[in-house]
Amino acid sequence: MPVNCIRPTLLSALLFATLSACSAPEPEAVSGTEANYNVELDIAQLMSLVLEPASDMLWDSGGWVLDASGYEELYPTTDDGWAFVRAQAAIVVEAGNMLALPGRAEDDDAWMIYSEGLSEAGIMAMEAAEAQDKEAFFQAGGQLYSVCTACHQSYSPDIASRFDNSAD
Ligand code: HEC
């Protein structure tokens, strides 16, 4: 609420009228700030430029791969390595918020639940990275993956199949 009161003072007098909304607890007061969000990047851009690179980094840093020399552990091995994946997880947390912004959110229902789920999976990964807990980190990666697929299945069935193939 205090944010709504401050914003108009930062903007032109055009928005002055919204000052009167400060005393009113009506949710409409929030919609008055919609124009302040820059949602120029569309969902596809947000996915491919922000969310996917960060998530790939997480998935590439958990578990094991089998190569010529046997099983190779993918988890970070240094404090810096864990700090790096923790930062990628933070991007995922915030991507959940970006998806929920007015102008991006496709509805006020399941879309918001998936967006929130994305942030929650990101928090799990951040906590696991902070604790350098491999098992918890691996689980967070699995949770993250299931949120991606669930939302794609509901909102972009086409992407869902493409995405599943490319993730293999
Ligand atoms: C809240 C819903 C939602 C969540 C959660 C979500 N996506 Fe998406 N994603 C979409 C929608 C909708 C599209 C289709 C966008 C379009 O083509 O307009 C999409 C498209 C994509 C694309 C294709 C982008 C392109 O260039 O066409 C990729 C890659 C992608 N998502 C990756 C991910 C990954 C990785 C995650 C999880 C870490 C994820 N998405 C989570 C809704 C979601």
Walk along the chain (168 residues) in steps of 10 and give the mean pLDDT of each run: 41 41 47 72 97 96 86 93 98 98 96 98 98 96 96 88 56
Residue nearest to atom 29 of ligand 1 (CA): 48
Amino acid identity for residue 151 in this structure = C
What is the model's pLDDT at position 163? 63
Alpha carbon separation from 125 to 90, 92, 104 (Å, rounded): 9, 9, 25
Give the model's pLDDT for residue 18. 43
Quick one: pLDDT at residue 94? 98
According to the model, what pLDDT value does residue 21 have?
44
Whether ligand 1 lies within 6 angstroms of the CB of 89 is answered as no
Q: What Cα–Cα distance (Å) separates residue 33 from each residue in 16, 29, 46, 101?
A: 12, 8, 21, 11
- pLDDT value, residue 33: 52
Specify the pLDDT at position 164: 56
55 C-alpha vs ligand 1 centroid, how far in Å?
11
Is 48 within 8 Å of 95 (Cβ atoms)?
no
